[in-house]
Amino acid sequence: MEALLEDGDVAGLQAYADELRETFMRMQREASDLNARAQSIRITEKSADGLVSATVGVRGELIRLDLDPRVFRRPDARGLADAITGTVQRAAAKALDELVELFAPVVPPEQLRAHLNGDLETVLDQLSSGMSGETHHR
């Protein structure tokens, strides 16, 4: 090095390193909290007729399915299957919305949605835009 650091410079660098360390530790704590909150997401939806109730987790996985006994009064297997499918899909969509909202302070919602929906092309376009400062539109 051409110039030696003075005591004030060393103290300043040490303070900066301490601040970075504390920021990193805080981010780790917050990430753990966000992850725990995300894993606890549970959404329950009912069918339009109220005979089907479905509870899903954060990934849209079916956790609980309740059928009102009145569904057996009308032997309509296709109608019941459609009611179950639609109810689970609505619950899964709401779980995704809640997850995106939870992470909005740290991940842009459109980027997280694209990632969670497996839209790799959109994710890569967004990363490219962020790195180049350009906006890509389709």
Of 70, 76, 69, 40, whose CA–CA distance to 55 is shortest? 40
Q: pTM for the full model?
A: 0.68
Contact call for residues 54 and 62 (beta carbons, < 8 A): yes
Decide which of 54 and 25 is more confident. Answer: 54
Amino acid letter for position 108: P
Burial of residue 42 (number of CB atoms within 10 Å: 0-12, 13-18, 19+): middle
Confidence at residue 9, expressed as pLDDT on a 0 to 100 scale: 81
Using CA atoms, how far apart are residues 44 and 21, in angstroms rounded to an integer?
A: 41
Confidence of residue 25 (pLDDT cuts 50, 70, 90): confident
Confidence at residue 67, expressed as pLDDT on a 0 to 100 scale: 97
**pLDDT tens digit string along 62-120?**
999 999 999 999 899 999 999 999 999 999 999 999 999 998 888 888 888 888 888 77
Decide which of 134 and 20 is more confident. Answer: 20
